[in-house]
Amino acid sequence: MAVGIFDSGLGGLTVLDAVQQRLPDVEFVYLADSANAPYGVRTADNIYDLTVAATQRLFDAGCDLVILACNTASAAALRRMQESWVPQDKRVLGVFVPLIEAMTERQWGDNSPPREVALKHVALFATPATVASRAFQRELAFRAIGVDVEAQACGGVVDAIEDGDFILAEALVRSHVDALKRKMPEPEAAILGCTHYPLMQEAFQTALGKDVSVFSQANLVADSLADYLERHPNMAGTGETAYLTTGDPARVSSRATQFLRRQIDFAAA
């Protein structure tokens, strides 16, 4: 059995690591579209086409359920895919849902009117494409009122992480946090709206200050997936664990091993 996990690059490894720890008996097929990363600077139509192609590759690998462990793909492509493309016997889920549930303290299926929540001032750090989509604000508005969300497009951070240049990534994080604070001086919470960003969570927390609650998605997604598979055990698929990339397998394997601190061997997708 295997569940597909897709990201434009290596950021989704933060989700993969969490779900593997949470669900040690489930096999996963991870696909990194490294040849086309990053997605955050692409158009919505381009992101949609690339995400559909990658998801189909995971379906072909025996996955009936695919997690888009990429906020940009979730923001720019998921709704359109679910409405017009995903086959009836397959499922594609994004990473926004568990985060929205955690922030609003209500289940996704709760269709009651929006209500006030504890948080009032929230900073969103994400790729330019995710920020432009306003997907997070749209989904939050369905469930909560009175929340001021200030978004900061974090150009360059994903590229630096993919290149393994964490000194540059940390400098960029500080710069983007400074820019956010000029617009929202005292955020109560911050959302790391890209699955690459948990690799820089300490830098975000330091720049924001210890009193700001930082929401990272990996563990939330892992808990949500465990609940979903308990309710839909037939969606675990028929594939076997594999790591696939559209980029250079040797280079991607080296970066992945560095990120997760355990040997990860990618093959060509």
- The set of catalytic residues is 70, 194
Instruction: Tell whether residue 40 is among the known ligand binding residues.
Output: yes
Tell me how crowded residue 75 is: count the other CB atoms within 10 A of its CB. 30
Instruction: Tell whether residue 39 is among the known ligand binding residues.
Output: yes
Instruction: Tell whether residue 71 is among the known ligand binding residues.
Output: yes
Instruction: Tell whether residue 155 is among the known ligand binding residues.
Output: no
Instruction: Tell whether residue 72 is among the known ligand binding residues.
Output: yes
Residue 23 structure tokens: 């669900």
Tell me the C-alpha distance between 144 and 179, whole Å. Answer: 26
164 — phi, psi (to 5°)?
A: 75, 15
Sorted by sequence, the CB contacts under 8 Å of residue 7 that are 6+ apart come out as 13, 15, 30, 31, 32, 33, 68, 69, 70, 73, 195
- Rounded to the nearest 10 degrees, how much is the dihedral formed by the CA atoms of 218, 61, 135, 220? -20
Q: What is the DSSP letter of 120?
A: -
Q: List 213's β-bridge partners, or say none.
A: 189
Annotated binding residues for substrate, written as ranges, equal: 7-8, 39-40, 71-72, 195-196
Annotated binding residues, written as ranges, equal: 7-8, 39-40, 71-72, 195-196
